[in-house]
Amino acid sequence: MAAVMTASHSTPADPRPALAALLDPTARTWLDESAAKVAADPAAVRRLFPAVRRRCGHGRLTDYWTVDEAARAVLLTALPLRDQALADEITRLHRHGDPAEQRAVLRTLPLLDLGDLALPLVRESLRGNDTTLIEAALGPYAAAHLPHAEYRQAVLKCVFCEIPLDRVTGLDSRADRELARMLADFAHERIVAGRDVPHDILPVVRAFPDVIGAELKHALTDVLTDVLKEEG
């Protein structure tokens, strides 16, 4: 039987070595010079950050990073700012960022020493309806900093938005009885409505068997039987 599969809880790898290997010399030079400019003058990031995707490309780099997100992470980690000043600059980049820029900010959060200061950015993304932003928001930073009630709501929102739960960081350590209850109630609602129950909620629900009420048990057994058949 599958355990609760989840993205790694740990800090993502430093993207610089992978980037250096992949970028062509022109892009690499641009990025190195841009990072140096940002280190010398933090305001320079405001014009350089939006231009990254055109300069460095946007294919996949690693499981965690795309090329543009990784290159933008290089600029953000070059900012010579700390604490509130760093949070303010990052927040402005996110506030005026297009979705690709916002995803880059969200994915870089675990590499920046911000404490809880970036939680408003995570919350804003979770309120929205762009699933690419919701997914980017639910990385290692959210897993480490989001309060329990908000984390549970975020997981439930993923289920509604059809974001596979294996893309949500921290589910193995943060799934609790209350989340299992919420997902079981959701499953019940779906079964009563004659709609499909997404299978990826079942590992969480099964980890807390007492949340499954008598009337749900019967219905869920059918769903579970189907899943077990599929899993062989």
Residues contributing to the site for another protein (CB under 8 A) = 46-47, 50-51, 53-54, 95-96, 98-102, 128-132, 157, 160-162
- Report, in Å, the least distance between residue 155 CB and another protein: 12
- Report, in Å, the least distance between residue 89 CB and another protein: 13
Nearest Cα to Cα of residue 91 among 145, 140, 79: 79
The tokens for 46 are 């405001």
* Residue carrying structure tokens 């058949």: 229
Instruction: Name which of 89 and 212 has its Cβ closer to another protein.
Output: 89
- Report, in Å, the least distance between residue 154 CB and another protein: 10
Instruction: Name which of 103 and 206 has its Cβ closer to another protein.
Output: 103
- Report, in Å, the least distance between residue 99 CB and another protein: 5
DSSP letter for 169, please. B
Nearest Cα to Cα of residue 166 among 63, 65, 68: 63
Instruction: Name which of 196 and 230 has its Cβ closer to another protein.
Output: 196
Instruction: Name which of 15 and 97 has its Cβ closer to another protein.
Output: 97
Helix axes 119-127, 83-95, angle to 10 degrees: 20
What lies within 8 Å, CB to CB, of 99 at 6+ separation is 130, 132, 133
